Amino acid sequence: MKVFINKRIPEIGIQMLEEAGLEVVLPKNADLSHDEWLTYCKDSDVILNVGQNKYDEGFFEQFPNVKAIALFSVGFDSVDIEQANQRKIPIGNTPDVLSRATSDIAFLLMQSVARRASYYFEQVKSDLWGDFDPLHALGQELYGKTLGIFGLGRIGFEMAEKCKKAFDMNIIYHNRSHNEEAEKKLGAKYVSFDELVNQSDVLSVHANFTEEHSEIFDESVFKKMKSNSIFINTARGGFHNQKHLYNALVDKEIWGAGLDVTNPEPMMYDDPILKLSNVCVLPHIGSATIEARNGMAKVAAENIIAFSKGEKMPHCANPEVYQ
């Protein structure tokens, strides 16, 4: 069985695949063109995908040889799950192993924005330290504030737990269903989407992205948020309309924003949102720790090895494919 990996992953994953007797195809060029990527897909039984390559109806029709896909990510919005199900193609993903690392980034962004850390770092680098000004670019404290979580799954729970322990924040959330563990351990309160938007001092996005969520955080939503509120997105850039977010920040409809994902992604270096003192933007590094990336490589390999043995993938985004 031939496994195509489009970018190098931590060695532990490659070693596991090879020790399982699988043929690993890893191009020397890490930046494949789209046509080059398609050529490798044509000759592969399984794809271990790194990045946001699209697996839609057209792909599956063009490459009936592909029997399984293992994603090097938790999110699986790049795959048309319905089409995969029709063809009995399991889609593996890597939950759990990066929950802590990603929630760390959300927590970091929240504090960086609250205290305008990015702005002040740029001031120091630009030799603009200046004299003491008691009223210049003040931040805000987070103690006792209300954290709103949109999508209280594993990562959202980690974020909520950090905020509860560090700042004794009140936790509210909006989800497809109730999270009884969060309600019991953190005193989290389930609220409607409108209540989440209206009541949050910090609103952090952690949901799985679907088309129904496309730019759900737009002009109409930002207008409903508190003027002191901070918007955090470490999930997918598609959740927010970036132009509307910029306008909301400039018009002081919300207080600040921290982004590890952008819309579009990657964003342009001269995007005006980067000039704002109440914004911190990172280049999608939620899982960028040695521990998390090693864990992702291991889980992705486990998914492929199980498939090669005719077993169910232990971490499958479309478990219904086995029914």
Active site residue ranges: 236, 265, 284
Is 224 in contact with 194 (CB distance < 8 Å)? yes
CA distance 211 to 104: 27
Tell me if the bond preceding 64 is cis, omega within 30° of 0. no
Structure token digits, residue 162? 């950090």
The kind and range of the H/E element at 233 are strand 230-233
Q: Provide, for the chain, the percentages of residues in helix, strand and coil under a 3-state DSSP scheme, each rounded to the nearest 5.
A: 40, 15, 45
Residues 6+ apart with CB under 8 A from 286: 98, 101, 102, 105, 106, 234, 260
Three-state SS at 14: helix
- In degrees, to the nearest 5, what angle opens at C-alpha 203 toward C-alphas 133 and 96? 120
Ranges of H-type helices in the chain: 11-19, 34-42, 57-62, 81-86, 99-114, 117-125, 154-167, 180-186, 193-199, 219-222, 242-250, 290-308
Q: In this structure, what token pair is assigned to residue 191? A: 């609220």
In degrees, to the nearest 5, what angle opens at C-alpha 264 toward C-alphas 233 and 92? 70
Dihedral, 221, 222, 228, 233 alpha carbons, nearest 10: 90
Number of H helices, E strands in the chain: 12, 12
Q: What is the amino acid identity at position 114?
A: A
